[in-house]
Structure 1
Amino acid sequence: MIGSGWFLLGAPWDCSGCNRGEARGPAALRVAGLTDLIEVDLGDAATVIGSSRRDETTGVRALPDTIAAAHALAAALQAGMRDHPERRPLVIGGDCSLLLGVFAQLRLSLGEVGLWMVDGHPDYFDAPGSDTGETADMQLAVLTGDGPRDLIGLGNAVPMVAARQVALIGHRTTGLDAASAAELARLPAEVFTIDSPAVVDNPHGAGHRAAVWADQLRVPMWLHIDVDVLDPSAMPAVTYPQVGGPNLNQLAGVLAPLTASPNLVGVSIADLRPDLDPDGRHAAGLVALLDGTL
């Protein structure tokens, strides 16, 4: 059971600016029963992105709206952490570039914070190299200091998280197209990685390795779950599905050692597409996953 140690904060964030579907994720998770499990729901931060224009200088899509959304989420998270110091935040998205707002706040309030990023993609494109210019293509690069100045400085310190304090878990490393292989090659060597084959082979072992690695950092840890880490057979309701991922039970096995860690300070979950989940069963599956692991 999730219990009383959490507060809920929505981030209806769609970095494409096209109302594609991710922004409706927080509402879908609430309808699926998440609010019944958490006593304190702070509603949604003002993270709606209305522009789809790609900035000519940086190559980033919806750059001014993205900066505004990051500041809005940081402010809402700051207020939640101030008003509910006995609870940890559960931020529900929206797409995974909500991490820009999360870490803008964490860097200011807590100093150095590490990241467990459970994701099917490295999210390490540079903006000119991204086909779309979406910050969801590049948010890990931005967090670790690789990107346009206006984004990497959101936390008033660069980087918002050091590459050596990031664990990337569940990303695909086989069968990649040329662009995805180039993205993976950009990932800093300091990032601790456990790829999807290792996760599928031994889920709990993968989570345990990531928890032990974090113990050695001696910093608070944020856990981010991008649901496209799941195999499309388990989670088709995402924008960029990839085969070769874990099922829900295997993902639960990975998460268990991380959510049990004393280093954990908060969790975010992102990238559900409710428009691709008309009966809500995939949203319900994610609520059950959270209820069983937090």
Structure 2
Amino acid sequence: MGATGWFVLGAPWDCSGSGRGEQAAPDALRAAGLSAQVGRDLGDAATTITSTHRDADTGVLALLDTVRAARTLTDRLAAALVNLPGQRPLVVGGDCSILLGIVPALRARGLVSLWFLDGHPDFLDGAASETGETADMELAVLTGSGAAPLVELAGPAPMTPMVPVERVVLLGHRAENLDDASAAELARLPPELRRIDASTLMTDPAAAGERAARWLEQLDPVGQGAWLHLDLDVLDPDALPAVTYPQSGGPDWEELAHTLTPLTRSPNLLGVSVADFRADLDPTGALAARVVALLTRVLR
């Protein structure tokens, strides 16, 4: 990572409200050396969620806490983008719900595209999710489908959706040997959503990354901007077991690095978010060090 080219902002966010481990990831990654790899470490936004109340109308867990956390993260990131011009943000969570705070800060500056690497599509809503966790649904919310208090985080229509679905590329999701619930979630994806599933990605990881980069670069030939989101459960559990919802059939560290490199080298790259590292499942810190090594390799 270029020492002056990036800043870190932590988002200790666990949408379950249970304190199960994702919220400890920013500190764990710092302990593994992340801060030394960037120009500035801005500390953490106040995004801790403690509510376990499931909203009766929307089915969303911790809805009010989530809206508050999202707005807090938006404000912190927006201020950092103003105060640190020329530096790219690396936002470390926390779970994938951090995107609900990240994208509004970007959206205020114009249209944004999204590379979304995840073992799951995250395209449920409050009714369809077994738990109501926003980490089940953030991609749906970002593309305009879901509970109004979340969908409108960047402002009411016509500002929504936060990311038009044609500006999203989903990579690494599992599409084979799915249980019924996972198959039903996959069927919810809009046909215009571009996707490269895990099996296709693993056949030629570098080509998958190059194709994803090219798709969004064609939308924005002048480099308007794309955000890269990495849910670490895109990795196979043999590579990284310290995630909340592990799913077999994913890439290893080397394959993931080859996929990420064309995206992080793209002139369109605005910044990166990293989510779903369970520090409580990494007692020695060895897996946190592996995450930092990956980031150091691909973010230059």
With normalisation by structure 2, the TM-score equals: 0.97
By how many angstroms is 1:190 displaced?
A: 1.3
d(CA) in 1 for partners of 2:205 and 2:285?
Answer: 26
- Per-residue CA deviations over 1:61-87 (Å, capped at 9, x if unaligned) read 000000000000000001110100110
3-state DSSP of counterpart to 2:273: strand
2:213 is equivalent to residue 211 of structure 1: yes
Contact residue 2 and residue 292 of structure 1 kept, 8 A: no
Say which of 265, 272, 281 aligns to 1:260: 265
By how many angstroms is 1:274 displaced?
A: 0.5
**Counterpart mapping for 1:147-186 below 5 A:** 147-156=146-155, 157-186=159-188
2:76 is equivalent to residue 65 of structure 1: no
3-state DSSP of counterpart to 1:91: strand
By how many angstroms is 1:3 displaced?
A: 2.8
- Per-residue CA deviations over 1:69-125 (Å, capped at 9, x if unaligned) read 0000000001110100110100000001100000111111x2110000011000001
d(CA) in 1 for partners of 2:107 and 2:190?
Answer: 20
2:144 corresponds to: 145
Structure 1 segments of 4+ aligned residues over 4 angstroms from their partners: none
Q: How many percent identity over aligned positions? A: 57
What are structure 2's unaligned runs of at least 5 residues?
none
1:36 corresponds to: 36
1:136 corresponds to: 135
d(CA) in 2 for partners of 1:235 and 1:95?
Answer: 15
Contact residue 237 and residue 273 of structure 1 kept, 8 A: yes
Task: Give the CA RMSD over aligned residues.
Answer: 0.7
By how many angstroms is 1:193 displaced?
A: 0.2
d(CA) in 1 for partners of 2:30 and 2:217?
Answer: 33
Q: How many residues align?
A: 293
2:232 is equivalent to residue 227 of structure 1: yes
d(CA) in 2 for partners of 1:170 and 1:87?
Answer: 28
Contact residue 2 and residue 293 of structure 1 kept, 8 A: no
d(CA) in 2 for partners of 1:112 and 1:178?
Answer: 35
2:91 is equivalent to residue 86 of structure 1: no
By how many angstroms is 1:162 displaced?
A: 0.4
d(CA) in 2 for partners of 1:112 and 1:185?
Answer: 27
2:281 is equivalent to residue 272 of structure 1: no
By how many angstroms is 1:19 displaced?
A: 0.3
> Which one-letter code corresponds to 1:94 in the other structure?
G
By how many angstroms is 1:2 displaced?
A: 3.7
- Per-residue CA deviations over 1:132-163 (Å, capped at 9, x if unaligned) read 00000000000000001110000012100000
By how many angstroms is 1:36 displaced?
A: 1.0
With normalisation by structure 1, the TM-score equals: 0.99
By how many angstroms is 1:4 displaced?
A: 1.4
d(CA) in 2 for partners of 1:129 and 1:211?
Answer: 31
> Which one-letter code corresponds to 2:8 in the other structure?
L
More displaced 10-residue stretch of structure 1: 45-54 or 2-11: 2-11
> Which one-letter code corresponds to 1:229 in the other structure?
V
3-state DSSP of counterpart to 1:261: coil
**Counterpart mapping for 1:234-249 below 5 A:** 234-249=239-254
2:17 corresponds to: 17
> Which one-letter code corresponds to 1:28 in the other structure?
A
3-state DSSP of counterpart to 1:42: strand
- Per-residue CA deviations over 1:246-277 (Å, capped at 9, x if unaligned) read 00110000000000000000100000001011
By how many angstroms is 1:167 displaced?
A: 0.3
